Amino acid sequence: MGIADRRKPSSEGKLWRLCPFWQSGNGSSSSSSTQNFQQHKIRGRPHVDDTDARSSSSTVSSVARSFLPTRRRLRLDPANNLYFPYEPGKQVRSAVRMKNTSRSHVAFKFQTTAPKSCYMRPPGGILAPGESIIATVFKFMEHPENNEKQLDRKSNVKFKIMSLKVKAGMDYVPELFDEQKDKVSVERILHVVFLDVERPSPALEKLKRQLAEAEAAVEARKKPPPEIGPRVIGEGLVIDEWVRIS
């Protein structure tokens, strides 16, 4: 009989550990047993180092940031395509305006899947905060094999625009993007789209305006800088006589 009495509390303790939310008619017994169960969980909880916790939190934060969209430094117009007039057998041009919308100086660089038939002016550079530029893209258009027009269709040729945050006063060299690969961002992937020159369209008219603006900017850069100093109306060798009236 004594042995049975000694085993009974052990079986009840196991039952409480398995069912901590099971309540009996005795409220005080249920409360004390639940408290004992919670204390048992706290005592049995493994120790977590603060350093490990911070490391785990940092890892989770970096993973979460990888799913967030990359903040762009440049605003492009057009944003997704490069429009070319459809003129087979000729060198055609496209244009894209880029504006630095960040608070720092930004270097940009172009890459293309067709470097033998395409080139850009300029292929790269540095923009100050708020500064904009129109880049011109030159492409030689070959005749299609099946002699069919590819109007309003995307070509297989693509352009990638990359950006890199730099310090003010730094000179642009393409090697910057190789030296700081981990800080380079891909701004856009632009697709080539052909436009019918015989059919007016808003995209074609916009392209003509941008090309004219880009040409004007190139001509302006060719002009010599203005001279610093007072403006001279005329030059001569003879000095006027000063006649004094006494």
pLDDT tens column, 98-118: 999 999 999 999 999 999 889
Cis peptide before 78 (omega within 30 of 0): yes
- On the question of pLDDT at 4 being above 50, the answer is no
Give the range among 68-82, 169-183, 222-236 with minimum mean pLDDT. 222-236
pLDDT score for 223: 83
- On the question of pLDDT at 29 being above 80, the answer is no
CA 116 to centroid of chain Cα atoms: 27
27-44 and 2-18 helices, crossing angle to 10°: 70
125 and 133 Cβ atoms separated by less than 8 Å = yes
> Rounded to whole angstroms, what are the CA distances from 182 to 91, 177, 194?
36, 9, 35
Confidence of residue 220 (pLDDT cuts 50, 70, 90): confident
144 and 88 Cβ atoms separated by less than 8 Å = yes
pLDDT score for 240: 66
Confidence of residue 145 (pLDDT cuts 50, 70, 90): confident
Closest by Cα among 166, 90, 88 to 125: 166
Confidence of residue 214 (pLDDT cuts 50, 70, 90): very high
Separation between Cα atoms, residue 51 and residue 190, nearest integer Å: 45
E-state strands within the chain: 74-77, 81-85, 91-100, 105-112, 118-121, 124-127, 132-140, 154-166, 185-195
Question: Could you tell me which residues come within 8 angstroms of residue 218 by beta carbon, excluding any fewer than 6 positions away?
Answer: 121
- On the question of pLDDT at 23 being above 80, the answer is no
Specify the 3-state DSSP secondary structure of 49.
coil
Separation between Cα atoms, residue 137 and residue 231, nearest integer Å: 40
How many beta carbons lie within 10 A of that of residue 171, not counting itself?
8
Confidence of residue 49 (pLDDT cuts 50, 70, 90): low
